[in-house]
């Protein structure tokens, strides 16, 4: 979350930008979502333990990058519509439904919003699934997705280390390592790692403190 020069971008004066690292990975029985926890305003770290994993339904979460205000507002609207869908249909919504709502809101308001979203979760129709809604409002179903300012540092690692049908432990390690690598390089990412393991049985939250982060060569 970084305050940027409003004259050169879409942010309004005083608006906070999510300089961050977000990630979601599909594995055999569910999905892992994760993010760092640093919120910055310029070079000042305003919050070092932010929770950037946002639930929009019981088994559907989103990770947000872009304008904090924009993405919080969009997530609240999607949460509201998913609650209405659950009541009207008498059953939990599909992950694709949630992703499509994000896509419609982001695309329909693309000239007013700065929002990059990753949506992930589990439903009884499609099982585990991950969707990316990048800036501009397109929609992409992917086995894993990364986003935020820190993601530019880890595309190579993710391409090399990802494999289909990982176990729960392999997916957790993959996500932790990728986010830790991004945090070590990106000045707008840092703090701790927060993960959520989403399966048909529920959501398990995992907290990785700063002194337990995976370590790599740092020169």
> Which residues have a catalytic role annotated?
20
Q: The tokens of 31 are what? A: 């999905």
What is d(CA 105, CA 26) in angstroms, rounded to the nearest whole number? 24
Question: Is the CB of residue 134 less than 8 Å from the CB of residue 95?
Answer: no
What is d(CA 111, CA 89) in angstroms, rounded to the nearest whole number? 33
What is d(CA 51, CA 121) in angstroms, rounded to the nearest whole number? 17
Q: The tokens of 78 are what? A: 């999607």
Cβ count within 10 A of residue 107: 14
Cβ count within 10 A of residue 44: 9
Tell me if residue 148 falls in helix, strand or coil: coil
What is d(CA 16, CA 18) in angstroms, rounded to the nearest whole number? 7
**Angstrom distances, CA of residue 89 to CA of 57, 123, 207:** 14, 14, 35
């Amino acid at each position: 979350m970084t305050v940027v020069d409003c004259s050169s971008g879409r942010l309004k004066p005083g608006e906070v930008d999510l300089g961050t690292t977000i990630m979601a990975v599909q594995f055999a029985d569910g999905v892992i979502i994760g993010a760092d926890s640093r919120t910055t305003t310029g070079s000042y770290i305003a919050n070092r333990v932010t929770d950037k994993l946002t639930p929009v339904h019981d088994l559907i979460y989103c990770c947000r990058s872009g304008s904090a205000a924009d993405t919080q507002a969009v997530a609240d609207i999607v949460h509201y519509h998913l609650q209405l869908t659950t009541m009207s249909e008498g059953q939990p919504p599909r992950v694709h439904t949630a992703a499509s709502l994000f896509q419609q809101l982001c695309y329909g308001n693309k000239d007013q919003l700065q929002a990059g979203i990753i949506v992930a979760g589990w439903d009884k129709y499609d099982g585990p699934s991950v969707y990316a809604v990048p800036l501009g409002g397109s929609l992409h179903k992917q086995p894993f997705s990364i986003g935020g300012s820190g993601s530019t540092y880890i595309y190579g690692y993710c391409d090399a280390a990802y494999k289909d049908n990982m176990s729960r432990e392999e997916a957790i390690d993959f996500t932790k390592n990728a986010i830790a690598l991004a945090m070590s390089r990106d000045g707008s990412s840092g703090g701790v790692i927060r993960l959520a393991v989403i399966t048909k049985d529920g959501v398990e939250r995992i907290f990785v403190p700063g002194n337990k982060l995976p370590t790599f060569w740092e020169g």
